[in-house]
Amino acid sequence: MAQRPEHAPHPDVTPPQAAAAFLDSPETKVFRVRYTGAPQQLRHYLLARYGHGRSASWGESFYPQRVRLDGLAVDGQTVVQPGQEIAYLHHRADELPMPPPPVVLHEDDRLLAVHKPDTVPVSPSGVYYFTALVMALREQHGLPELTPMHRLDLETSGPIVFAKRRSEVAALHALFAAGAIHKRYRALAWGHVSVTQREIAGRIVPDGSSPIQTRLRLVPAQHGAPVSLTRVHAITHQHHPRHGPLSELLLEPVTGKTNQLRVHLAAIGHPIVGDKKYHGDPAVFLDWYAHRDFARLRDRLLLPRQALMCESLGFPHPFTGEPVRIAAPADAWTDKLRGLHERAMPPT
């Protein structure tokens, strides 16, 4: 993965001293971690851990006043040693503005389902804490125990189901473990996928040959090894006036492996439009990782976010047994593709 630039130590060299304990509040969250690496300058470690996707101004403002090491204040020369506890004070104001409340698709005494936008993660991650979907919904609905039953990648939109109480999470997890959750996804992929393509299967493993450290790849299944399986239910061919052939697909992930649909479509040579990590050229992701500037990559990505959406979920209600079907809003897919440079021509 691309290396982050080196950062010079902050000029503040106030001697370490005892400091008041950091506290969580409606506007702040204290992240605590027990350090396990080799000794290094603390500020460099924090920039590497928390700086991804943040502005340069953040990098110059958080240190040292929002950091404690074993409860003590730090300065620009502080070195962190194995076993020490780092506390970093995160501010709500560091995050992008809270998006509008998501559309509620289903609600009963035990479940809440909403349409996740493609601009926030399901759970806290990276620059998102207060704006992560589950945290925002806990605040908006007054449900402090709200827990997601599954996940979607950051740039994937669609229905997400939550348990309202932690004591009822196990019953929902049992449905997923039993394969009783039936999911349908819609994707727009590069090229014309063969109309004979009905299944994609194999083992998903780390792609050690890629410069992208988190990229995965599909390899043939071995006897007895866990297999990922996607069924292809419909393929519609399109032709973009500037960028050539595209395919719209209706997909059913029978298993639920990390990045499964993205890995599967990339493996058959038809990565998802807008997908940075699984684009055919890894330089696209590395450029995005370094600059976070879609304008630099517009002609290669077409869309600022991957054209992948969960269209519907179906399952028996874990407490009543009644069938539940949760579908994305009717216009969600059209909105997802609104960023295309030009409308693709009608299906052929």
Label each residue of 235-291 as H, E or C.
EEEEEECCCEEEEEEEEEECCCCCCHHHHHHHHCCCCECCCCCCCCCHHHHHHHHHH
């007054």: which residue's tokens?
142
C-alpha to C-alpha distance for 80 and 36, rounded to whole angstroms = 10
Render each residue's pLDDT in the chain as its tens digit; 348 residues.
Answer: 433 333 333 333 333 444 446 889 999 999 999 999 999 999 999 998 888 778 778 888 899 999 999 999 999 999 999 999 999 999 998 888 888 999 999 999 999 999 999 999 999 988 899 999 999 999 999 999 999 999 999 999 999 999 999 999 998 888 888 889 999 999 999 999 999 999 999 999 999 999 999 999 999 988 777 799 999 999 999 998 888 999 999 999 999 999 999 999 999 999 999 999 999 999 999 999 888 899 999 999 999 999 999 999 999 999 999 999 999 999 999 999 987 744 443 443
Residue (of 317, 312, 313) closest to 171 by Cα position: 317
Per the structure block, which two tokens stand in for 119? 């601009």
In a domain? residue 57: yes
Q: Are residues 219 and 77 in the same domain?
A: no
In a domain? residue 126: yes
Q: Please identify, among 63, 92, 121, the residue that sits at the C-terminal boundary of a domain.
A: 92
pLDDT of residue 162: 96
Contacts by 329-332 with C-beta closer than 8 Å and gap 24+?
A: 329/103, 329/105, 329/115, 332/115, 332/157, 332/158
pTM metric for this prediction: 0.86
Q: Please identify, among 40, 72, 92, the residue that sits at the C-terminal boundary of a domain.
A: 92
Q: Are residues 204 and 308 in the same domain?
A: yes
In a domain? residue 273: yes
Q: Which domain holds residue 161?
A: 104-336
C-alpha to C-alpha distance for 1 and 66, rounded to whole angstroms = 28
SS3 144: coil
SS3 33: strand
Q: Are residues 42 and 157 in the same domain?
A: no
The total number of structural domains in the chain stands at: 2
pLDDT of residue 21: 60
CATH number for the domain harbouring residue 118: 3.30.2350.10
278 φ/ψ angles, rounded to the nearest 5 degrees: -105, 20
In a domain? residue 317: yes
Q: Are residues 226 and 88 in the same domain?
A: no
End-to-end CA distance of the chain: 39
C-alpha to C-alpha distance for 53 and 46, rounded to whole angstroms = 13
Instruction: Tell me the Ramachandran region of residue 211: left when phi exceeds 0, alpha when psi lies from -120 to 50, beta otherwise.
Output: alpha
Q: Are residues 173 and 58 in the same domain?
A: no
Residue (of 204, 202, 269, 258) closest to 229 by Cα position: 202
The sign of the CA dihedral 205, 211, 212, 213 is positive
